Amino acid sequence: MGPDARVQQLTAQVVRARQDLVAAQVELRTSRGEANNYRAELSVAKARITELETDLEKLRAAPARAGADDLKRIKGIGPKFEKILHAAGITSLSQVAAWNESDIDATAKTVGIKADRIRREDWVGKAKSLTGGGS
């Protein structure tokens, strides 16, 4: 191969190498741009999660809902169960007093105990007594 042919060959290789370099730079810029977009989305998501966790902690730390009865007056319901019951929308003694058998079963699942315990401890009867409904 003569010098002119070699120059042409090397020139073609340089042109291809430069094209590859430009393509790689474009790809890198695109990847960085996409990465920056993902980083921005992650930041927004993390901020939202932090905001929601803060709201959740405030809710958990808040005293019993305004107008809610002290369900802990029923033997067998402590602070933990009371919070779970409140979260399930059960906030008054009259609600407990009105439970039927299926309500007891559903509540037991919500609270994470056996329905027999609610029956044995007679939450419904005690709630009726506390609300003046008798047992």
pLDDT one-digit tens code per residue, 10-47: 888 888 888 888 888 888 888 877 877 777 887 888 88
Single pTM value for the model: 0.51
The overall average pLDDT reported for the chain is 83
CA dihedral 88, 108, 77, 68 (to 10 degrees): 20
The SS3 assignment for 99 reads: coil
Three-state secondary structure call for residue 126: helix
Instruction: Give pLDDT tens digits for 54-108.
Output: 877 776 666 555 567 889 999 989 988 888 888 888 889 999 999 999 999 998 9
Instruction: Give the amino acid at 96.
Output: V
Q: Which residues are CB-contacts of 76 (< 8 A; sequence separation ≥ 6)?
A: 117, 118, 121, 123
